[in-house]
Structure 1
């Protein structure tokens, strides 16, 4: 499938917030397509990122780190720790996107400083500068009105591999209810415009859903990388599944 095209079979991922390396590692081996480690609003700090990324098994799903800010030092440390890519928040302009790309890539394609990884992954593994990436090295978040206004230009910045939508912040910025934002997916809608920009640029369109129901809406809109649930949401879901099995509920 060409990146950026609508897909009836999106790559479903987990958004990890608890900052617990062992739990996250087990979830990454459960059949998920990818895992996002949230170092902006979640509990992943420098130590837990390194423990999670450095001790994952060879069969674990790809891991992206949402860094706390569009900051070269934070981006470099996440990648040095072994992240397959970064999700950079609050990218509202071409200049912001260019800064995220520069921090993600080594010269001559960027300005990232080289350093040996602390984890078990090679320094030139997924996310190096060898060409198109099956796993996005640099994903930039569209979550402001300014970002939406510039989404075509942002998606076209060389080195941006994915535009990732934060629907809650974007809905707040646009003065919309998040459910109304997700339900409106035509060409003239915010989500439709973002998907079209990614398709035209030949890059991936990703988004945070948080629930399977929202994931269905985002898949229908054409997003191909979707965070369909969270680590915290899976815990009560698992308890409910056990209860149903024990009590024989349908």
Structure 2
């Protein structure tokens, strides 16, 4: 997948098949394929964030952030001192030849926090303004559930005070990336129309299922 030309590949340790497992090999495979490796950690915990960054991830996506304080905690876990509290160690991923230079690592490591609840939406301007945040990552499925609004309605709402417009505006105001999970090209297009510029356009299980179904159809047609 990484070698196909994707800009980034997300490794999901919250809900994906990698949850509860070490991601070192997956991160190495993504980077070897020429894409950036972003890991959604299971929760906003410093040991989880530090572990995936030690494995060589280019950045983290931190779920269920609902306040500026929680956003600052995510930044602190992703940055070495004096910008944060990430612990430095001489041993890193077996796929790197030398340990990270702290200043270079701080400059090149992305920290994106997920907005996916009404509480987070109410504070999205404060969250996006936290120093060290590189982007806000919209979780539309959880947000639609929490708001009691069908996903299709959430994505279609282009009103002045719509949830998606508010997230994009907060990101623009603070010069950070507006990112979102689409899951399909069609949903990604809707999110892009709102102004989101970093998008998850598909998922591996769906890609493999679709490709397998197409292969079976072609094979059956051989007669």
Q: Supply the distance in 1 between the matched residues of 2:189 and 2:60 (Cα, whole angstroms).
A: 24
The structure that has the greater radius of gyration is 2
Paired residue for 2:170, among 197, 216, 228?
Answer: 197
- Within the alignment, does 1:117 sit opposite 2:92 as a pair? yes
1:37–1:63 contact (8 Å) kept in structure 2: yes
- SS of 1:92's partner is coil
Q: Supply the distance in 2 between the matched residues of 1:47 and 1:75 (Cα, whole angstroms).
A: 14
1:53–1:119 contact (8 Å) kept in structure 2: no
What's the TM-score, normalizing by structure 2?
0.90
1:171–1:177 contact (8 Å) kept in structure 2: yes
User: What root-mean-square deviation, in Å, do the aligned CA atoms of Structure 1 and Structure 2 show?
Assistant: 2.2
Which structure's residues are more often helix, by fraction?
Answer: 2
Paired residue for 1:39, among 13, 30, 33?
Answer: 13
Q: Supply the distance in 2 between the matched residues of 1:184 and 1:235 (Cα, whole angstroms).
A: 31
2:80–2:86 contact (8 Å) kept in structure 1: yes
Aligned length: 218
1:214–1:125 Cα change, 3 Å: farther
Larger RCO (CA under 8 A, 6+ residues apart) = 1
1:50–1:148 Cα change, 3 Å: same
Paired residue for 1:103, among 48, 63, 77?
Answer: 77
**Runs of 4+ off more than 6 Å:** none
1:65–1:79 Cα change, 3 Å: same
Moved more, 94-103 or 230-239: 230-239
Structure 1 alignment gaps of length 5 or more: 1-26
Q: Supply the distance in 2 between the matched residues of 1:146 and 1:46 (Cα, whole angstroms).
A: 27
Paired residue for 1:85, among 59, 62, 67?
Answer: 59
Match of 1:19 in 2: none
